[in-house]
Structure formats: C-alpha cells, structure tokens
Structure 1
C-alpha cells in the first residue's frame, strides 16, 4: 500500500506555519499522518518546524542520498530526509512544509498533493510588517513575488483570513478525509532530489 506526500505551501504572511502547527497538534494522536521536519541551512528558533544543518552537512546529505526532497528559497537550502519516503511507502500521509517554487516544478507522476494556504494582499502586507523580520523594501519584494505564483495548481486552497482554528480545521479535514480520495488527485506532482 502506498501513502501520499502532502506539500503545504503559501506566501510569507499567509499563516502557513500557524495552520500547519494547529493541524499537527490536532492530529498528534494519528499514526497514519506524519508532519515532516525540514532540514534548513539557517538557524532554528524555539518552536521551529525545522532542524538546522550547515551547508556542508546539507551537501553530504545530497551526496549520500539522504534527502527525499530538496529545494532553495530566500538564500537557504531546504530538505526532507529520505526516511520520510519510507513512511509514504508504508502507506502514511507525510505532510511537508514546502515552497511554491518547489510545488510549481514538481513531476506529475508520483503520489503528492499540493495544499496552498493564502490570504488577501492587505492581510499579507499587514502580517509581514507585524512580524518585523523584513525591512519595508523586503516586504514589498515578497508581495511582488506573489504574482509569480498566481497560477499555482493546488489540489486544495485554504483561505486563512479568520480564526486560526477555521483554517487549521480545513487542513485537518483535508488530511483526514480528502487527500487520498480520487477527486483530490487532480494535481499529483512530486520531485525527488
């Protein structure tokens, strides 16, 4: 029995990390749904959903076939360890916090679904400014970059403009009931390293 990858992506400020965190907590008791931890060549903070690796460690993982997925974004390398591919092969749903650029370049032959978390431009701008990680010109650049992905083909879209629980519940419902259904297979894309 083969499982499924679910790649969750969205623009900075859409609340993707919060939605994923809410869903992971809600589904923590499920053995058939796994939330993958990313490996990233940037520092991790308390509560991060990724583990920090050096560029040299990342290169060794690539050379040793240690990554099932890899991509670059915002000057950093991101990867998903190969061990998660074994969980998909065992029939589990493995949820990956990914990037839209990676999602738009996926191969259409393997078991993956793309879920996009989004919100309107005004909320994106407000959230990016409130989090204070980017200079004003960086916020503007991130907002302009969103136009590159306006035609992203997603299997499911979550509009995160209200309470976090509403968006989180949509992701939970999709993972529990919709991800494996034939109707959700309109965009079955995957990219291995």
Structure 2
C-alpha cells in the first residue's frame, strides 16, 4: 500500500494571487501524475478568468454536505466552500493534493489529514488592492475594508512555507512549484 499523500493548503489574503499561482503551478506540473489540484465548490458564480471552482447554490451546498460529499468545508466572506471527498482517494493513492483553502480551516484540515502542509501566499497591500479592484466584485469601500481585516492568522504552531507574490509572477510560481515538489 502506498504511503498516504500530502494535502497542501494554499492560503493567504484576498488579492494575494493564490488562484493565479495555483493555475500556473498546475500547468507546470501537468505531466506529473503525482500532483492533483482539487477543485473547490463555492456558493458563488465563477468568473472563468479569475477562479477555478464549481458554483452551487446554498441549498445544494447544504444537501451535498449532508450527504458527505465534502472532505472539508468552511465559511468565509458570507460564502460556503467545500472540497470534494474524492481527494481522499487521491491521498490514499499517495498523490499530493493541492487546494486553495482558508487560514480558518487549517486546524480542521490538519486534524483530519496528518500530512497536511500549509503554503501562505502574501502580497503587499497596494498590489492586493489593485488586484481586488481588477476583479470588479467589490466597491472601493469594500476593498478598503477587506484590506483592513486581514482575516484569521495562521496558527503559531503551524509550519508554513511563505511565498511573496508582490512582484514577478514567474518567481512566485517557481517558489510554489518548488514547495510542492518538496512536500
């Protein structure tokens, strides 16, 4: 039986560029079957150019959750997020599963998956503000408020790989791919 795979949580504040980095890392690792990128289920419509997720309404999400279709769930920014239970098949096969998560759910993920590692993507507030404005989902006041409240911190006892995505995208992508391979 293969050694259980690792679950890699990619976390960080809104606008840090998690989706962009994960898409580039997925492309860079496309020929390596040992890496699986989990697709989130979110109670929000997807904007294809900005996010890679499946959309669902609140009732559908709650029904799927009740049926045990999610390995992990969490709430953030008034939305519900879920990761399909199918990641457990991938982990059991020894694969590394990479997922866009939340700092709020690190404890739950680590309690459920012993080989759960955390990669924190950061970016300067000015860079994040510009990216958030570019999404077109929030007003300037909402963006300012989002930047003021950084969200939950990573727990002190959690080992974290930190990647600054304020500058050159290729440098940040290379750092993420390196971190994933080392996992």
State the partner residue of 2:132.
128
8 Å contact from structure 1 (residues 12, 128) kept in 2? yes
| Aligned partner of 2:46 among 44, 49, 52 | 44
Residue aligned with 2:174, SS: helix
State the secondary structure of the residue aligned to 2:80: strand
* Structure 2 counterpart of 1:103: 106
Distance 1:107 1:160 in 2: 25
- Tell me, yes or no, if the aligned pair for 1:116 and 1:154 is still in contact at 8 Å: no
Whether 1:62 and 2:65 are equivalent positions in the alignment is yes
2:150 to 111, 136, 146: 146
Q: CA deviation at 1:127?
A: 2.6
- SS in structure 1 of the partner of residue 149 of structure 2: helix
- Alignment partner, residue 182 of structure 1: none
The two structures have a TM-score, normalised by structure 1, of 0.84
Count of equivalent residues: 178
Distance 1:154 1:124 in 2: 24
The Cα shift of 1:56 comes to 1.8
Distance 1:132 1:17 in 2: 16
Query: How far 1:107 moved relative to its partner?
Result: 4.2
Farther off after superposition, 162-171 or 138-147: 138-147
> In the TM superposition, what is the alpha-carbon distance from 1:162 to its structure 2 partner?
1.6
Alpha-carbon offset, residue 44 of structure 1: 1.5
How far 1:167 moved relative to its partner? 0.5
8 Å CA contact 2:6–2:94 kept in 1: the answer is yes
Give the C-alpha shift of residue 43 in structure 1.
0.7
* Preserved contact between residue 42 and residue 53 of structure 1 (Cα < 8 Å): yes
1:81 to partner: Cα distance: 0.6
* Structure 1, unpaired ranges of 5+: 180-193
Q: What is the CA–CA distance in structure 2 between the aligned matches of 1:146 and 1:121, rounded to whole Å?
A: 10
- Give the alignment partner of residue 115 of structure 1, picking from 119, 127, 131: 119
| Whole-angstrom CA distance in 2 between matches of 1:155 and 1:175 | 12
